[in-house]
Each structure stands twice: as structure tokens, then as C-alpha cells.
Structure 1
Amino acid sequence: MKKQVIIALALFVSVFTFAQKKEVKALEKAVKKDNFAEAKTIATQLDSQVSAMDDDLKEDYYLAAAKAYYANGTSTNADTNKAIENILKVEGEGAEFKRIIENDLLTKANNFYSSKKFNKAAETFNMMYQVNPEAQDYLYYTAVSYIGAQNFDKALESYLELDKLGYTGEKTMFVATNKETGQVDSFNSKSERDIYVKSGTHTDPETQNTESRASEITKNIALIYINKGEKDKALAAIEKAKQANPDDVNLLINEANIYFEMGDEKKFQSILQEAIQKEPNNADLHYNVGVIYMNNKEIEKARQSFEKVLSLKPANADAALNLSTSYLEEGNALVEQMNSLGNSRADDLKYEELKKKKSSLFDQAAQTLVDFKNNNTSVPTSVLQQLKNIYNALGEVEKAKAINAEIEGK
């Protein structure tokens, strides 16, 4: 009896295997005829039976299913992903179809990117990376495309994976100048390039090394964390980026801005001072430091910063306004002292002294804006308005009227 059961079971398995082979053949036939709708239906039906197939039949199924889902490149992203999932399970014969998918997706990704369809480009580059995980450049272009699409969460995922992989993107390029076109051509290897040079079609052979992308990746990770408001992670990423790029002033500026947002003005100021030491002619750095000095009532230091800005960028209206305001604020502080004085002879003398000093400060505030006006053909209304107000405060009515006429004439 046991023997009969074993024979019956063996017969059932044999019949079942034969039926599977028949279905796989039907799948391959549908693919060959480009009948991809039918092929996908068969592939879906067979999917639950794959575990019972022998290794050779599995290979045939996975390859045919991959072709069915890919549908000669006309498939949706969902079906393309299914095609990739299947082709990755195929050994030998699958290599050629992998190359077909990879090359086809590369053309699509480049076209999407060129036409600024960045989200589609990113999805396509990412599929290429799934097909060929050794080509980590695809993951880099995935991240870059997501940045273009303003999809920072997805970009961050790709950048973090690149950072984990230790990706640098550094390459050695073998190049030579094409005699006919004058353009520099790149070759797959030194030996290939040397053949062209020896044949006389190319000259000036060179070996070039591309720059590492590691610092760019770390920097972008930090910037995305800043954008997301995750300040601690941003600071950690910036610290790592600074180690790789100790002279990158932009990293210091981003770090300083984070501390400013956290309300730590002292740290903000000290980092900007460090940045100024690296780029002493960076007007924006001097301006930001000046603003902090103004907020801290360090008027003389603020003036030095704004004067430096104007020496570097004479058209910076904000620096001129702030420099003028520094004199006004100092003058207005004297008014408070003047109002607190009594009626004694000594107080009267002190009052006149302070009044004279206040007028002198207001004169300097006005002169700052006059100098700006003389040095620039285009003067913002905000500068003219402040100058008019100063003249009114000084009692110089005619000058105030003249400035007002300029404002109304704009």
C-alpha cells in the first residue's frame, strides 16, 4: 500500500512539473510575440508556483517574467520594478537582458533630467541602481535629481546611503585630443587610448582624476537637515563636512546660521569671525557680524563692519542704512540724557554740550547716506526716506524738501 502511495505521489509531482513547464513555455511564447498583456497574466499565475519549480525552470521563468513585465521598455514604473526584481534572480542568461534594461533606463533618465522632469529622472536612476548596484554613480544621480525636484526627504535617503557606502565618485579618466575635431575624447582604458594615439588619430594623451564627491554629499546632508529643521543632525553633518573641507567658508556660514536660529548669538558671531579670517574680503560676512554688533549695542565695532562692507561693495544700501542708523541711535541715546537734566547752570551747559554732540552724530548719519547717494546711480527709496527724516530732525527744511522731491520723482 505504501508503495502505491509513493508511486502516486511521484506521478502527481511529475504531472505538476510538466504542467509548469507547459505554462512557462506559454509565457516565453507570449513574450516572443510581444503579447505582453497575456505574458503578464501568465507570469502572475505562475508566481505562486515558483518554489516548486526546479532550478532550470526557475531561471526560464524569471527571465521570461522579467521580459513580460518590462514590455520592451513600455512598462509602468511598478512593472519595471517587477521586471528588475525577476531579472536579479537570473544568473548567466540574465546578464544580457540586464544590460538592455540598464541602457534603456539610462536613455530615459537622461531625457527626463534634460527636460527638467527631475522626479521621474530620480525614479529612473534609482531603478538603474537596483539593476546594477555596483554602479553607485546611479545612486548619486538619484540624489541629485531629487534635489532638482525639491524632494529633500528622498534626496536625503540617497545621500545617507552613499555616505554609508563610502562613495566618492572618484575616477581615473584616460583622454586624448581628437586631431579631426579638436575635442578631448575619453577612453575605457589606457591601452585603448594608446592604440588611438599610435594610429595617429589622437594626440596629447593624459590621465585625469575626477574630484571626490564625498564633501559635496556630506555638505548636502547637512543642508537638508537644516531645511528640515533638524539642527543637531545638521551640526553633526557640518562637523564631518568641515573635517573634509576645512577651508569651505560656506560650511561655517551654515553652521553660524544654525546657532543664530538657536538663539546663540555669541557662537554665531565667533564662527563668522572665523569665516572672516578665511575670507577677509567677503562683504556678506562683515555685514552679518555688523548686525550682531548692532544688536549687542557694540556701536563702534558695528560701524567698522559696515564701513568694511561699503569699501568692498559700495552699492550695499543695507550697510549704508545701518551705518547711518548707528549714528542716529547714539544720538537718540543722548536725548534721553538731555531730558533727564535739571535747570541749574551746570545742567544747562551739559545740555548744550550734549545737544551739539547729538547734532554732530545726526550730521554723520546724514553724510553717510549722502556719500552713498553720490557713489551710486541707483539709490533705494529707503535711503532717501531716512535722509529726509534726518534733515527734518536737524531742522534743515530745504534739504528735506529737495530729498522729498527726489522720492516723489521716482
Structure 2
Amino acid sequence: MKIKHIVLASSILVSVSASAQKDELKSLKRIYAKEVIKGNDLAEYKNLVAKAEPLATEEGDKIYVAFYKSMTPLLEINAVAMDPATAAQAQATIARALSPKSIADFAAGLNATLDYEKKTGKKVYTDDILETIGSYKPQIVEVATGYGKAGKSKEAADVLYSLYQLDKKDADMLFYAASYAVNGQDYEKALQFYTELKALNYSGEGTFYYAVNNTSKQEESFGANKSLRDISVNTTKTHSKPRDEKNPSKKSEINKNIALILIQQGKSNEAILAVQEARKSSPEDDSLLFAEMDIYLKLKDFDSYTRLVNEALAKNPNNADLVFNLGVITGNAGKLDEAEKYYLKAIEINPSYFNAYLNFAELKLRADEKWVTELNKLGTSEKDNKRYEVIKKLREDNFKLILPYLEKAVDLEPTNDPAKRTLLSVYNALEMTDKYKALKAKL
């Protein structure tokens, strides 16, 4: 009897908990349905969410508790907008309510509810959710843009990705999220976003719609959603000065960025495949050719590297930028003689190529460190004294060789301090006192 009594009591407790949970859900639904949130509504709403969350056991109850919780930020915005007493803290409340985490939770809660109602065939909030997404989408885009302008690229990427999760028909948001992730050096997320865009066969090609936000006075993009732009301009009157713009395909940019991120991550084999695919879609993009060359250099695959060098030069034998970049790549790989030829060739093609003069001088100066190290190790023996004179002569000849290139660089860009300081060190080494003093006075 005692055991049965305990079981019965337990079942009564479960029944009471379930009943309490249903009451809280009804109360949440009642507050949520209000046009205006005022008085103690918000505090009661939050309290009900906190109470219902641990009690929810059935799938539907869990979904709707999560939905009400995810909608809390919008109710907070509604409450401060309608209460003059809280006007001073409105901006802080809105900023907190539309933080990257809040927007991510908002997207997760709404999507889970949409999926559940689609599965059950019972539309309780589906229409309301779709209307909410349409209403708040421009504001969320504005939040992301604000983060971007403030230099918070990672936050902007997170917000736009959440927005894409809310409206997967608008893959433009995913593309912009990827771009912001790159700007924020969050390469893992950028690669994830670009890979997803590629799987979607996204091109970004088409007509895009813009209008000026009447509040911020900033032009905003509505992506390819002409109807939303037109509603904002003609119906809600939140925007004005509509503008249309045709954009080319972004497929080549996506392929290129995937390849460059893989290179940056050191995933050479994956990067080779990606960059080769990118080159097929953008055969005229020389930066991809250089990227592939750089991979082969890192892998010490000099045969493939040489093949691409010849391909590059065959395409553009008189392209000074291409030749200069070859100098940079080979110089970084320690192929100094080859790099020197490329820099000189770039100067021959374009006698006003400042960077080629400067890089050539830097290349020749690399030998000086080795000579100085050897000089510091020499003693005072006759043999060491003779070696000292040899090295001294080598250094002097090298400085004399470099001198006209540095002087030309400073002549081309007289305000470039690094070039002037390098030239100063050469004047000093060659004991060219008058020229040293004259240049020093200009720093």
C-alpha cells in the first residue's frame, strides 16, 4: 500500500507541473498577442518564460517556450518605444536587444517554430513569423551595417548569417556575411559561408535594389527583393530615393576567396584544386595565377612553379605589375638572383615603378647583414685584416650599386619615409656627409 501511495503522489505532481506549464504558455500567448506592451507586461512575460522553460517536456511545448523566449528582444523594443519614461534608455535597450547573440537566438527560435508548424500542419505563428521577418529585416541589415562601419566585422558577419538563416531565399545576406568574415579575419567562418554559397550555386548576378533610409540618411541594400524595397518606399515610407543596379556574377570571386583562404590556412592540396577551379572561371585574373605559383613555391614544386612563370610571361611579357610580382614571389622564396632580374625587368618596362626600385635595393641590402656578422667575428690577425678589407670593399661596391636605385625611388616618392631612411643609411655608410645632412633635414 505504501509503495502505491508514493507512485500516486508522484503522478499527481507530474500532472500539477504539466498543468502549470500549460497555464504559463496561455499567459505568454496572451501577453504576446497584445498590440502594445506596457506596465508590468514585460516583467511578467520574462518571468513566465523562466518558469515554463524547465517545465516543458513535450516537443510542442518546448518549441513554443523557445519561440516566446526568442521574441523577448522584440517585446523589449516594443515596451521602451511605447513608454516615455524609458525613452532615455531606449537606444541601449535596442542595442542589447539586437545584439549578434540575440539575433542568432531570434533566428533559431523562429526557424524551429516554422519547421514544427510545417511538420504538424498547424499554423499558429507561421504567418506572424513571416510578417515579423519582413518587418524587422531592414532594421537587422542596418544593425549589421552599423557594426561594419564601427570596424566590428565579425559581429556584422554573425548578424547577416542569422538573417540568412531567417530567410534562406536571400543568399545575398550569406555572401555579405562571408565578406565581413574575411574583413574580420575569421577565415573559418568565411570558408564555411563561401562553401555554402558554392553548394547553392549562388552567382549574385542580377538586379539589386537600393533606397535611402529616411532616418539614418544612409543608402541601404534590399538585395534582389524589389517588393520589399518598393513597400519601404511607397507604403511604409521609411525609405526614399530608390535606385536599381545590375551586378555581375560573383562566382569567380567566391572560388577565388575559397582558394586564398585555404592557402592562408596552409591546406595546400585543397588550395591547389580550389585555385585551379577559380582560374577556370576567371582565366584573366592574374592574382589567381600568382596564388597558384605561391603554393607550388611553398611545396618546393619548382617544375610546376617554372611552368606557371613561363605561362605568366607568355601572356603578359610587358606587364610591369606581373613581372614585379614575380620578383616578390621569387624573392620571398630565397631565389634572389631570379628576383633581381624581375625587378630590373619591371624597371625597364616602367622606369617610374617606385616599388621595383625600392625592392631591388632591399634585395641587394640583404647581403649586408651577412657581411656585418662576419666583420664582427674577425680578430686582429694579418689574415683577418685582409679579410676585413675584402668585405669592406664588397660592402662599399654594393652600396654604390644600390645608391642610384634608392635615389630614384626617393625622387619618385619624396614623402616616403622608409625609402628616405634607407637612403640615409647608404649615404652614411658611403660617408656622403653633405647628402646625408640634406636628406636628414627633410625627415
The whole-number CA distance in structure 1 between the counterparts of 2:348 and 2:362 is: 12
The whole-number CA distance in structure 1 between the counterparts of 2:340 and 2:17 is: 92
How far apart are residue 222 of structure 1 and its match? Answer: 1.0
Aligned to 1:119: 154
The whole-number CA distance in structure 1 between the counterparts of 2:421 and 2:18 is: 86
Alpha carbons 2:21, 2:56 under 8 Å: kept: no
Deviations 1:348-396 (A, max 9, x none): xxxxxxxxxx9xx98993784487379546363434655776xx6xxxx
Alignment coverage as a number of residue pairs: 332
- Closer/same/farther in 2, CA of residues 149 and 44 from structure 1, 3 Å limit: same
The whole-number CA distance in structure 2 between the counterparts of 1:40 and 1:158 is: 33
How far apart are residue 133 of structure 1 and its match? Answer: 2.0
Q: TM-score, normalised by structure 2?
A: 0.59
The whole-number CA distance in structure 2 between the counterparts of 1:299 and 1:23 is: 74
Aligned to 1:29: 30
Aligned to 2:92: none
Alpha carbons 2:354, 2:413 under 8 Å: kept: no
How far apart are residue 121 of structure 1 and its match? Answer: 2.0
How far apart are residue 243 of structure 1 and its match? Answer: 0.7
How far apart are residue 300 of structure 1 and its match? Answer: 9.5
Trace 1:176-255 onto structure 2 (pairs within 5 A): 188=226, 209-255=246-292
Deviations 1:155-204 (A, max 9, x none): 111111111121112224689xxxxxxx9x99937xx9xxx9xxxxxxxx
**Partner SS state of residue 311, structure 1:** coil
- Closer/same/farther in 2, CA of residues 45 and 102 from structure 1, 3 Å limit: farther
Please state if 1:104 is matched with 2:136: yes
Q: Percent identity among equivalent residues? A: 24
The whole-number CA distance in structure 1 between the counterparts of 2:266 and 2:58 is: 49
Alpha carbons 2:144, 2:160 under 8 Å: kept: no
How far apart are residue 301 of structure 1 and its match? Answer: 4.9
Alpha carbons 2:141, 2:160 under 8 Å: kept: yes
How far apart are residue 147 of structure 1 and its match? Answer: 1.8
The whole-number CA distance in structure 1 between the counterparts of 2:360 and 2:72 is: 66
Paired residue type of 1:365: L
Aligned to 2:300: 263
The whole-number CA distance in structure 2 between the counterparts of 1:269 and 1:402 is: 46
- Closer/same/farther in 2, CA of residues 298 and 264 from structure 1, 3 Å limit: same
The whole-number CA distance in structure 2 between the counterparts of 1:300 and 1:23 is: 77
Please state if 1:48 is matched with 2:57: yes
Alpha carbons 1:137, 1:169 under 8 Å: kept: yes
The whole-number CA distance in structure 1 between the counterparts of 2:327 and 2:342 is: 4
Paired residue type of 2:127: A
Aligned to 1:372: 408
The whole-number CA distance in structure 1 between the counterparts of 2:50 and 2:433 is: 85
- Closer/same/farther in 2, CA of residues 308 and 387 from structure 1, 3 Å limit: farther
Instruction: Tell which deviates more after alignment, 292-301 or 151-160.
Output: 292-301
1:161 to 196, 199, 211: 196
| Structure 2, unpaired ranges of 5+ | 1-11, 35-40, 77-96, 211-218, 235-242, 369-393
Instruction: Tell which deviates more after alignment, 277-286 or 246-255.
Output: 277-286
How far apart are residue 208 of structure 1 and its match? Answer: 6.5
- Closer/same/farther in 2, CA of residues 66 and 102 from structure 1, 3 Å limit: farther
Alpha carbons 1:30, 1:39 under 8 Å: kept: no
- Closer/same/farther in 2, CA of residues 71 and 279 from structure 1, 3 Å limit: farther
- Closer/same/farther in 2, CA of residues 145 and 161 from structure 1, 3 Å limit: same
How far apart are residue 131 of structure 1 and its match? Answer: 1.9
Of structures 1 and 2, the larger Rg is shown by 1
- Closer/same/farther in 2, CA of residues 300 and 158 from structure 1, 3 Å limit: closer
| RMSD across aligned positions (CA) | 4.7
How far apart are residue 39 of structure 1 and its match? Answer: 3.3
- Closer/same/farther in 2, CA of residues 281 and 49 from structure 1, 3 Å limit: same
Aligned to 1:90: 117
Aligned to 2:382: none
Aligned to 2:175: 140
Deviations 1:220-273 (A, max 9, x none): 111111111111111111111101000001111212222222234454454244
- Closer/same/farther in 2, CA of residues 29 and 366 from structure 1, 3 Å limit: closer
The whole-number CA distance in structure 2 between the counterparts of 1:367 and 1:67 is: 73
Alpha carbons 2:354, 2:409 under 8 Å: kept: no
The whole-number CA distance in structure 2 between the counterparts of 1:243 and 1:270 is: 17
| Structure 1, unpaired ranges of 5+ | 1-11, 52-57, 176-182, 197-205, 329-357
Deviations 1:330-356 (A, max 9, x none): xxxxxxxxxxxxxxxxxxxxxxxxxxx
Deviations 1:255-295 (A, max 9, x none): 22222222344544542443344455543432344574993
Paired residue type of 2:128: E
